[in-house]
């Protein structure tokens, strides 16, 4: 359905350049009142629209400011995280080096402990052999002392025998 303009409201386009002023008809007056109401409503809507646009612009500025602030916070947090990661990497590297040094020292300590244990074992072996020889020598000395005592007593008997023989 097509809409057409009411020719009574605006009048027919005339081909002549002269206009005649006519008294407004009651329908035209009513149309003018309706147009004024529409104009008033339109002006109110435009002012409301302008207020809404201003509010939207303020909101957009606030959103942009909040986004910038959030972006700055995220950047700062990212930088803080990067610093923490670098610190963590440095600490990890330091701990790894310290553990490596500790493992190396522990290995050296084990090697030294093994050498000391070998020396102790050798010393104990030497002591055992010395004790064995000492006990053998003590037995030998005891045997020799016994032999000397036996020989001494035999010699004493022989002397007494010789002395008895001389007396006779």
% pLDDT > 90, the chain: 73
What is residue 17's DSSP assignment?
S
CA–CA distance, 125 with 103 (Å, rounded to integer): 32
Listed range (18-22, 27-31, 41-45) with the worst mean pLDDT: 18-22
Ranges 15-29, 75-89, 152-166, most confident: 75-89
What was the pLDDT predicted at 16?
47
d(CA 74, CA 81): 10
Q: What residues contact 143, with CB distance under 8 A and at least 6 apart?
A: none
**First-to-final CA distance of the chain:** 188
> At residue 33, does pLDDT exceed 50?
yes
Q: What is the mean pLDDT of the chain?
A: 88
Q: Residue 59 is encoded by which pair of tokens?
A: 């909101």
pTM of the model as a whole: 0.43
Confidence of residue 27 (pLDDT cuts 50, 70, 90): low
Distance CA(146)–CA(134), nearest Å, equals: 18
- Tell me what the mean pLDDT of segment 120-139 comes to: 96
Closest C-alpha among 6, 30, 32, 10 to residue 19: 10
Whether residue 32 contacts residue 24, with contact meaning beta carbons closer than 8 Å, is answered with yes
What DSSP character marks residue 87?
H
Q: How far is Cα 48 from Cα 72, in angstroms, rounded to an integer?
A: 35
HSE value, Cβ hemisphere, 13 Å, CA-based, for 56: 6
Contact between 30 and 6 (Cβ < 8 Å): no
Contacts 24+ apart (CB under 8 A), 35-44: none
């Amino acid at each position: 359905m097509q809409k057409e303009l009411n020719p009574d409201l605006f009048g027919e386009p005339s081909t002549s350049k002269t206009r005649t002023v006519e008294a407004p008809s009651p329908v035209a007056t009513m149309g003018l009142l309706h147009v004024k109401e529409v104009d008033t409503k339109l002006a109110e809507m435009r002012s409301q629209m302008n207020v809404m646009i201003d509010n939207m612009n303020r909101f957009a500025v606030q959103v942009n400011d909040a986004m910038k602030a959030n972006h700055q916070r995220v950047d700062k947090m990212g930088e803080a995280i990067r610093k923490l990661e670098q610190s963590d990497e440095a600490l990890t590297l330091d701990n790894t080096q310290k553990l490596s040094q500790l493992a190396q020292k522990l290995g050296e300590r084990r090697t030294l402990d093994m050498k000391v244990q070998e020396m102790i074992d050798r010393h104990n072996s030497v002591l055992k052999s010395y004790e064995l020889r000492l006990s053998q020598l003590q037995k030998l000395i005891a045997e020799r002392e016994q032999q000397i005592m036996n020989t001494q007593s035999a010699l004493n008997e022989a002397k007494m025998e010789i002395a008895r023989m001389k007396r006779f």
